[in-house]
Amino acid sequence: MQIIVEGYPAYAYTGGRAFDPALPAIVFIHGAAFDHSVWQWQSRYLAHHGFTVLAADLPAHGRSPGKARNSIEALACWVAALLDGAGLARSALVGHSMGSLVALETALKFPQRVSRLALIAASVPMAVGAPFLAAARDDSPAAFDMETAWGHARDAYLAQSPVPGTSLVCASRQLNGRAHAGVLHADLTACDGYRPAAEALQALGIPTLVVAGRRDQMTPFKSGQALAATIPGARFVALDAGHSMMSEAPRATLGALRDFLAST
C-alpha cells in the first residue's frame, strides 16, 4: 500500500488484508537499516485477527523513497504524518530497536494519536559505539557485519531457526545489506543522539508493553527492565531470544503482542 507522507509515497505492508481504518489499527516500525519485512509473522497474523495493519518502510528504507532522517524526533513527526495520510486518528504503535525509540517519541510528542505502545528490544538511551558509527559512516560492509553479529543470540550462528531451512543470520545480513548508502549511519546517529527527559517518561500515560530478550547483545536485557520500571504501569515481558526476537522467537513475540493489544 502506498501512502503520501511528507510529500513522498511511503510503502506500508498491510498483512495480506485490505487496509480498513474502521478497525483497531497497529503501525509497526522497524529498526536501523531494515524494512517492513522484519514484521512478517506478527503483522500478518494480527491483520487476520481483528486489526488493520501498517508495517511501514521508513523514508529511504525498503520501498519508501525520500531522504533518511537523522533524528528520532524527525522520524516521530514522519510517523504522525503517516497516520494523517492513512486517515487514522489513533493507532497502536509497535517498534523494534530504533523503531521502539521512534514509537516512544511519537507517543511523547503526539500522545492523543497513540492508543497503545509496544517497545521491543528497547533501551533509553541507546548509545552506539564509535567503531560501529565510523564503519556505518563509510558504508563499510563491516558495519552490516556488526549489526548482524550483535543483532542475534549467539546460537543463531549454529543454524538454529524456528523456520526450517532458513538461516536467520544470512537473511538478516542480506536484508540490511540492501540499505541505501548513508542510511545505516543516519539511523545509528539518530539512536545515539536520542535522550528523552526522564520526567517525560515518568509522565507517559499510554498503556505500554516492553519486551526484552534475555540474550540480546545489542540492547541489554537490563535496559529493557529499567525502561519498563520508568514508565508508569508498563507491562514487562522477557523472552529467551536475542535482539531480533521477531524472527528468533516469532511465536513468543506474537503472543506478547496479542495479549497486550487484546487486553483492556
- The CATH number of residue 93's host domain is 3.40.50.1820
Using one digit for the tens of pLDDT, what is the confidence trace for 238-261?
Answer: 999 999 999 999 999 999 999 999
Asked if the model's pLDDT at residue 161 lies above 80, the reply is no
Domain count, the chain: 1
What distance in Å separates the CA atoms of residue 48 and residue 244, rounded to the nearest whole number?
Answer: 23
6-15, 50-59, 155-164: which has the minimum mean pLDDT? 155-164
Confidence of residue 163 (pLDDT cuts 50, 70, 90): low
Q: What is residue 6's predicted lDDT score, i.e. its pLDDT?
A: 95
Burial label, 215 (beta-carbon count in 10 A; 0-12, 13-18, 19+): middle
Strand partners, 210: 119, 236
Using one digit for the tens of pLDDT, what is the confidence trace for 95-148?
Answer: 999 999 999 999 999 999 999 999 999 999 999 999 999 999 999 999 988 998
What distance in Å separates the CA atoms of residue 124 and residue 241, rounded to the nearest whole number?
Answer: 20
Q: What is residue 264's predicted lDDT score, i.e. its pLDDT?
A: 61
Asked if the model's pLDDT at residue 50 lies above 70, the reply is yes
How far is the first Cα of the chain from the last one, in angstroms, to the nearest whole number? Answer: 30
C-alpha cell at 256: 506478547
pTM of the model: 0.94
Using one digit for the tens of pLDDT, what is the confidence trace for 109-119?
Answer: 999 999 999 99
Q: What percent of the chain stands above pLDDT 90? A: 84
Q: What is the mean pLDDT of the chain?
A: 93
Q: Which one-letter DSSP state was computed for residue 127?
A: -
Domain holding 186, by residue range, is: 2-262
Q: What is residue 44's predicted lDDT score, i.e. its pLDDT?
A: 97
The set of residues, in sequence order, having a beta carbon less than 8 Å from that of 222 and lying 6+ positions away, is none
